[in-house]
Structure 1
């Protein structure tokens, strides 16, 4: 069921910026499995706690942590190896998060522009975008396109400016929404000034007056997101799900 509101009619929401890992797709288990395999191959030790601490972090940070765990490779070699492993796994099975594709479809029908803002690098991000119908995600800002990864807001600033460059009306941060699942990601989005929706997955997220928190994207549509940007984070909101 799609939004009954015609594209652009009386809608405050202008654009949605999507995180990828853990938000649009559930690739975190793929990353964690690849980390375990890599550390074991180098005779080191790895734990779920260490793996979960890397969720949402820049890949350069993650590679440095893996080096300290015993991986005797350069940062670039570690990143390339992990991305290659995860790309192989998503080609076998794309693990979509509940409600994500349906929400993307409704936003597309409602004329709300969407883009991807991820700390994964281009090869993996392009695999995910290619698995969607054309135009659902207009462009990618990936970890290899910025100098400072999440929790720094640089990636969201880059995405906003790129979207604003050809938007038919002035783009406003308070009328854009970022969808995130991790502590670094929500911090980056909130610090950019874009309204932020946190949907926790692998790691718990603290309640905050800086972002909205929902347990799932399932049942959400463009009208529901439009409600979110119209109220302050932390405010009481009714059901946002489609009936």
Structure 2
């Protein structure tokens, strides 16, 4: 059985709602170089969509002698510092689409592998209550590409995951959304998404409305989730 109506839209944050990926990269390079290592643009691109714990371990492999939690705290602080000084670069059409979803009574969730304090900081900068629930990296046991973050968000919203659309900009994020059973929409930014298996790819959210997302959901029959949290 599948749900016939769009009940909620679940949003990734970094790269989907806000173009913060360059801020993360700008925090990674000096951290690695501080300890005599090098960090290439290709290595930075390889971190797009990874859980922060996995990213921290890659930075440890590059020579950063800190613990995982210390690296995550440092990167989060650096990105927040950049946001405070330069402002939040929302992706084109993102805030407008969120407002239209709220106007149409469609629930929304923010599903990010960034820390909760960062997710709440960015959500608070939107001039209306944009999200009904926030699921962050420190809220889940298994990060993206596991389905758990999206399943947890749907449960918190009280909706069937198959009645949702999940919007993502990274391969790992799309894999998480697809595995959960949501209709997966890719909006690429830093890395290509052509071969990941998204139900649809849009070049931008600019000019898109709740009607477009309802049509996208209606055009696809979400599959039953391939994993559930009971499989832990």
Match of residue 161 from structure 1:
155
Q: What secondary structure is seen at the aligned counterpart in 1 of 2:219? A: coil
Q: Give 1:209 shift.
A: 4.8
1:181 aligns with 2:175: no
> Which one of 146, 149, 159 corresponds to residue 152 of structure 1?
146
Contact 2:8–2:164 (Cα < 8 Å) also in 1: yes
Deviates more, 1:56-65 or 1:210-219: 210-219
Q: Give 1:133 shift.
A: 2.6
Match of residue 64 from structure 1:
57
Q: What secondary structure is seen at the aligned counterpart in 2 of 1:158? A: helix
Please list every run of at least 4 consecutive aligned residues from structure 1 whose deviation after the TM superposition is greater than 6 angstroms. Answer: none
Match of residue 77 from structure 1:
70
**TM-score for both structures, normalised by structure 2:** 0.90
Q: What secondary structure is seen at the aligned counterpart in 2 of 1:82? A: helix
Contact 2:166–2:183 (Cα < 8 Å) also in 1: yes
**TM-score for both structures, normalised by structure 1:** 0.86
Once residues 14 and 174 of structure 1 are traced to their aligned partners in structure 2, the CA distance between those partners, rounded to angstroms, is 9
Match of residue 226 from structure 2:
none
Match of residue 213 from structure 1:
201
Q: What secondary structure is seen at the aligned counterpart in 2 of 1:16? A: strand
Match of residue 92 from structure 2:
98
Once residues 91 and 12 of structure 1 are traced to their aligned partners in structure 2, the CA distance between those partners, rounded to angstroms, is 39
Match of residue 111 from structure 2:
117
Q: Give 1:126 shift.
A: 1.0
Q: Give 1:72 shift.
A: 1.1
Q: What secondary structure is seen at the aligned counterpart in 2 of 1:135? A: coil
Q: What secondary structure is seen at the aligned counterpart in 1 of 2:66? A: coil
Q: Deviations over 1:54-85 (max 9, x none)?
A: 10110000000000001111111100000000
Summarize the Cα distance change of 1:107–1:229 in structure 2 as closer, same or farther, 3 Å threshold. same
What is the alpha-carbon root mean square deviation over aligned residues?
1.3
Once residues 160 and 39 of structure 1 are traced to their aligned partners in structure 2, the CA distance between those partners, rounded to angstroms, is 37
Once residues 232 and 106 of structure 1 are traced to their aligned partners in structure 2, the CA distance between those partners, rounded to angstroms, is 22
Q: Give 1:208 shift.
A: 5.2
Q: Which runs of 5+ in 2 are unaligned?
A: 222-232
Q: Give 1:160 shift.
A: 0.7
Q: Residues 28-43 of structure 1 correspond to what in structure 2 (within 5 A)? A: 28-43=21-36
